[in-house]
Amino acid sequence: MDGQLKKLRLAVLISGGGTNLQSLIDRSLAGELHADIVAVVSDRPDAYGLKRAEQAGIPRHVVDYRQHRDASPETIFKEDPGWDLETLDASQRILKEPERRKRLLSLSRLVAAEKQILHILREYHPDYVCLAGYMRLVSPYFIHSLNREGSHRILNIHPALLPAFPGRHGYEDTFAYGCRWGGVTVHFVDEGEDSGPILAQGVYPIWPGDDLEKIRRRGLRIEYEVYAQCINWLAAGFIQMVCEENGRCLAFIRDPEYAKILKSWVKLAFSP
């Protein structure tokens, strides 16, 4: 908790337009983000975020999960005996298929794609991997290949106030439920779906007459601020992790400017 800034190396995983990626790029170039984006990986070859990376001179890669449909549970770890698919299945909380064989098949295909991603990431030595509109679940294999000695190295931005509305449709679910406040959450990634330790949350009001696109635009402004700030907190050593005996971990922000920063997010949420 020394507050001494370290410039982080970030790899960003995307699936679509990459507006969060663009926000991080812009802030890094402006000196407002204490990090360099060293690589961008997409699961979709047509993701516009790849164009954003190209324009910024950032190395970009595509890992198409469809190319790994032939992966099988029997061969996935043939050359990597340190891992066991059954053990991974016992620890994962993302695949709900009740039939074991089908679930292991899905898990093996997921791991096959993740192996390719990890091979790419090793070339760039990122301090953290940031999921930014990445529409793929990640397995315990991916998580534990990056996390070391109790560290958390994978970040995600989620467009809802977790633990409410996990999954792909945070804005849609918030709006459909009739919430009067929406929000965004930055959290570390664990073996569940949007269930990892929460670093920070920002809120915005939902006014009578708002539609889905209005709250999405309002929420995105908060997303950009909260994600960048969490990265800066990590760079400054202001995030303290405390893990309990039951394995549950909590994140605490030790920034003396914490209250001032939260107030700025609320002010932004109410701005036109």
Q: What residues are labeled active site? A: 158
> Do the Cβ atoms of 94 and 139 come closer than 8 Å?
yes
In Å, the largest CA–CA distance within the chain is: 58
* E runs forming strands in the chain: 8-14, 35-42, 60-62, 128-131, 154-158, 181-188, 198-205, 239-243, 249-253
Q: Residue holding tokens 């889905």?
A: 212
What Rg, from alpha-carbon coordinates, does the chain have?
Answer: 19
Q: Is the peptide bond before 98 cis (omega within 30 degrees of 0)?
A: no
> Do the Cβ atoms of 131 and 156 come closer than 8 Å?
yes
Q: For residues 183 and 161, give the distance between their C-alpha atoms in angstroms, rounded to a whole number.
A: 5
